[in-house]
Amino acid sequence: MNTESLMMILPAALVGILMHALPLLSRREIFFGVTVDPSFVPSQEARRILFRYRVPVWVASLATLVLLWIGISRHLNFLVIASLFAPVVVSFIAWARAHKQVLPHALPASTVRVASLSTREEPFPGGVLFAIGPVLLLLGAACILYLRSSRGAYAPILVGLCTVVVILLQCYWMLRRARQVRTQGAAAANERTFKRVTVWVLLAAAYGIAIVNARNSLWPLAGVSLEPLLRFLPIAVMAALVLILVRIGQGGSRLPGGGGTDDQRGDATPDACWKWGQLYYNPDDPALLVEKRMGIGWTLNFAHRGSWLILAAAVTLPLLPRLLR
Amino acid sequence: MAALLKIDLSSTVPAYQQIVDALRALMVTGTLRAGELLPPVRQLGLDLGIHFNTVAQSYRILAEEGWLDLRRRRGALILDRQTPIVQNEAKLDQLRLRIGQIASQLQAEGLSAGEVASELRQLAEGMDK
């Protein structure tokens, strides 16, 4: 097996592991996107539902690895691409089915809302200067390019800049504009830790993107090869990310004392607004980002106008190099 | 430990009124003190899952009562309200009527007149602390 095949197969295996662990990364009172009594999760019925979700995920992951190996060895690109999407698609379908099976066990929706009256002034981890580091790096690369050559390619720098700015906005939103679900005790502290760790991960990704894009613009000038580093860095980052997320859990719920401590159950969003336990649509909720119920992190409230702007930007961004050509 | 604000969206009392009542109670009992900052409208609206305008309306009412100094984007500063603002007799009559109604309601639920008086005394003593 050569390095190229390994670079394809390792992430696919990591995705399989993540999809296997996904249902247990949610908050303790949320099971397949449904708010349940925490005592339901270890029950036999819940374990049966979990098993029925995992079987297709395992089969799809194994099939992916086999198809990838065939596709790479026989240079069948369509097979490689199709096999990479398979476990994700299968997991989404299996999740939606499990969600339907858990719904009869849902707790009645709580109408009580609790909020802390302290102001949140979460600073950027590492300070603002560290946070804008990727932007400065790319601007520096643009300056070098401008001073040393007129043949340089600015497209990677521009794409990098747009991506990094989007990531930084996301970090700001998570720190300052994301809902604090737990209001007191260890659970609230864990939730803040979760936000900070997520922001660190995103900042690391922003630095990675800035380095790769600056290098893509400058390498014809410098002739410096970063190939070995760039090949394995994304996989190493992805593996570390999976490990961190599994350790912390959604909203810090897997950290000690991460359970609920106040009247709020689950993640303070109504079950009825979650389509298939995956997509959130609630016109009465002012939040743009809410905690994911499938996986870890935040997802968009599709009833918020801002979410459609973000989606439009996400679609446009990959097309930017073609538009700039 | 930070003070908490709790509202019930299924209550017949409008959300803005619940916020006003809860905040006023916290300020009267001294849980929230003069000089402290209340969270910005957006933060509180987000955490409670209600529209920002609802929170803004509550803050405005409390500002009109002399409890808050509203600061753009920075939240609301709790004012020292030792001296009551000019008393509005009509409003006081309205509040007396409400206390009367609540007392009747408590009696209708089975509490004796003495028990109702004791409840009110306890509340008043809590405010003195």
pLDDT in tens, B24-68: 999 988 889 888 899 999 999 999 999 999 999 999 999 988 899
Lowest mean pLDDT among A163-167, A218-222, A264-268: A218-222
Contact criterion met (CB below 8 Å) for B69 and B77: yes
Q: A184 CB near a chain B CB, below 8 Å?
A: yes
Q: A245-254, B33-42, B85-94: which range is least confident on average?
A: B85-94
Closest CA to A156 of A197, A201, A209: A209
Interface touch A116/B32, C-beta < 8 Å? no
How many structural domains are present in chain A?
2
Based on the domain organization, do A40 and A95 belong to the same domain?
yes
Q: Are residues A44 and A150 in the same domain?
A: no
In this structure, the number of other CB atoms found within 10 A of the CB of residue A151 comes to: 8
Is residue B16 over pLDDT 90?
A: yes
Helix (H, G, I), strand (E, B) or coil at A176: helix
Do A83 and A208 fall within a single domain? no
| Residue A175 placed within a domain | yes
Task: Assess whether pLDDT exceeds 90 at residue A135.
Answer: yes
Domain segments of chain B: what residues? Answer: 15-78, 89-128
- Angle, nearest 10°, between helix axes A227-248 and A3-21? 10
* Yes or no, beta carbons of A117 and B8 under 8 Å apart: no
Identify the architecture of domain B15-78 in CATH: Orthogonal Bundle (1.10)
A85 within some domain? yes
CA A73 to chain centre: 31
Q: Which domain holds residue A158?
A: 127-262+308-324
Counted across chains A and B, CB pairs separated by less than 8 A come out at 81
Q: What is the pTM of this model?
A: 0.78
- Give a yes or no: residue A55 inside a domain: yes
Q: Which residue has the tokens 């009109």?
A: B64
Asked whether B34 and B78 are in contact (CB, 8 A), the reply is: yes
pLDDT digits (tens, 9 = 90+) for B110-122: 989 899 999 888 8
User: What distance in Å separates the CA atoms of residue A56 and residue A46, rounded to the nearest whole number?
Assistant: 17
Q: Determine the Cα–Cα distance for residues B121 and B104; give it in Å rounded to an integer.
A: 16
Whether the CB of B53 is below 8 Å from some CB of chain A: the reply is no
- Asked if residue A224 has pLDDT above 60, the reply is no
- A-chain CB neighbours of B48 within 8 Å are 113, 115
DSSP 8-state secondary structure symbol assigned to residue A301: B
Pair (A193, A312) in one structural domain: yes
Mean pLDDT of chain A: 84
Q: Which pLDDT does position A264 carry in this prediction?
A: 64
Cα separation, A214 vs A160, in Å, equals 8
Task: Mark whether A10 and A56 lie in a shared domain.
Answer: yes
Asked if the structure places residue A65 within a domain, the reply is yes
Angle at A108 between CA A105 and CA A113, to 5 degrees: 135
Q: Do residues A194 and A318 share a domain?
A: yes
Residue where the block lists tokens 């609206």: B45
One domain, residues A94 and A132: no
Q: Could you tell me if A115 lies within 8 Å of chain B, comparing CB atoms?
A: yes
Residue B97: is its pLDDT beyond 80?
yes
Q: Chain A: nearest CA to B37, how far in angstroms?
A: 7
Using alpha carbons, list the distances in angstroms from residue A137 to A127, A131, A163. Answer: 16, 11, 13
Query: Is A234 a domain residue?
Result: yes
Enter the DSSP assignment of A104. G
Considering the domain architecture, whether residues A15 and A70 belong to the same structural domain is answered as: yes
Q: Out of A120, A180, A286, whose CB is closest to B51? A: A286
Q: Regarding predicted confidence, which is higher, B103 or A183? A: B103
Q: What is the 3-state secondary structure (H, E, C) of A190-230?
A: HHHHHHHHHHHHHHHHHHHHHHHHHHHHHHHHHCCCCHHHH
DSSP state of A288: S
Residue A294 within any structural domain of the chain = no
Q: Are residues A70 and A200 in the same domain?
A: no
User: What are the φ and ψ backbone dihedral angles of A119, each rounded to 5 degrees?
Assistant: -80, 145
Residue of A nearest to B78 (CA): A117
Query: Are both A249 and A145 inside the same structural domain?
Result: yes
Would the pLDDT of A222 be above 80?
no
Interface test with A, best of B24, B46, B59 (most A CBs within 10 A): B46
Do residues A162 and A53 both lie within one domain?
no
CA angle (A96, A86, A156) in 5-degree steps: 110
* Cα distance between residue A141 and residue A144, in whole Å: 5
Q: Which residues contact B14 (CB under 8 A, 6 or more apart)?
A: none
Are residues A184 and A72 both part of a single domain? no
φ, ψ for residue B27, nearest 5 deg: -80, -35
Question: Which element (helix H / strand E) includes B7?
Answer: strand B4-8
Give the bridge partners for A291, in sequence order. Answer: A298
pLDDT in tens, A297-322: 889 999 999 899 888 888 887 777 67
Per residue in A32-91, pLDDT (tens digit) is 999 999 889 899 999 999 999 999 999 999 988 888 888 888 877 778 777 778 888 999
**Structure tokens given for B13:** 């009392």
C-alpha span between A252 and A190 (Å, rounded): 5
Quick one: which of A115, A97, A58 has its CA closest to A294? A97
Query: What φ, ψ does residue B122 adopt, rounded to 5°?
Result: -60, -45
* A217 Cα to chain B: minimum distance (Å): 41
Confidence of residue A254 (pLDDT cuts 50, 70, 90): confident
Record: contact A117-B1, CB cut-off 8 A: no
